[in-house]
């Protein structure tokens, strides 16, 4: 399974990643970083398309893709 890693200290909680995810596996986590912004979490099977990372204004997302789960064009 591919996965996304949130650099939580960079997150400003804008949720553009949540809206961008084509398989809708991102959601607010209920946890807050030291700036006071609510950070996101992944829940579900990630395809590794990196749409979330492309739309993140704060470059707070890293995406790891496994060969098998490649479902979307990068």
Partner 1 sequence: MDARNLENLLRPAEGETLVFDTNPVLNERLTHYCPGCLHGIAHRLVSETLHELGVAERTILVAAVGCATFTYDYFNVDGLEAPHGRACAVATGVRRARPEAVIFTYQGDGDMAAIGMAESLHAANRGERITSFFINNTVYGMTGGQMAPTTLLGQKTTTTHDGRRMDREGGPVHLAEMMAGLDGVAFAARCALDSVKHVREAKKAMRKAFEVQLEGLGFGFLELLSSCPTNWHMDPVAASKHIVEAMIPVFPLGVFKDKTADSPSVVQKEGVPHA
Name the residue with tokens 């060969």. Answer: 67
In the complex, what is the shortest distance from the CB of residue 14 to partner 1, in angstroms, rounded to a whole number?
3
In the complex, what is the shortest distance from the CB of residue 11 to partner 1, in angstroms, rounded to a whole number?
9
Beta bridge mates, 4:
63
Interaction of residue 25 with partner 1, rule CB under 8 A: no
Q: Residues interacting with partner 1, by CB under 8 A?
A: 2-3, 5, 7-10, 12-16, 18-20, 37, 48, 50-51, 53-59, 61-68, 74
């Amino acid at each position: 399974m591919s996965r996304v890693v949130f650099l939580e200290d960079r997150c400003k909680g804008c949720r553009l990643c949540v809206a961008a995810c084509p398989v809708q596996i991102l959601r607010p986590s209920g946890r807050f970083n030291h700036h006071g912004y609510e950070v996101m979490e992944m829940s579900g099977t990630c395809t590794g398309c990196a749409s979330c990372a492309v739309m993140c204004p704060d470059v707070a997302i890293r995406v790891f893709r496994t060969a098998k789960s490649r479902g979307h064009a990068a």
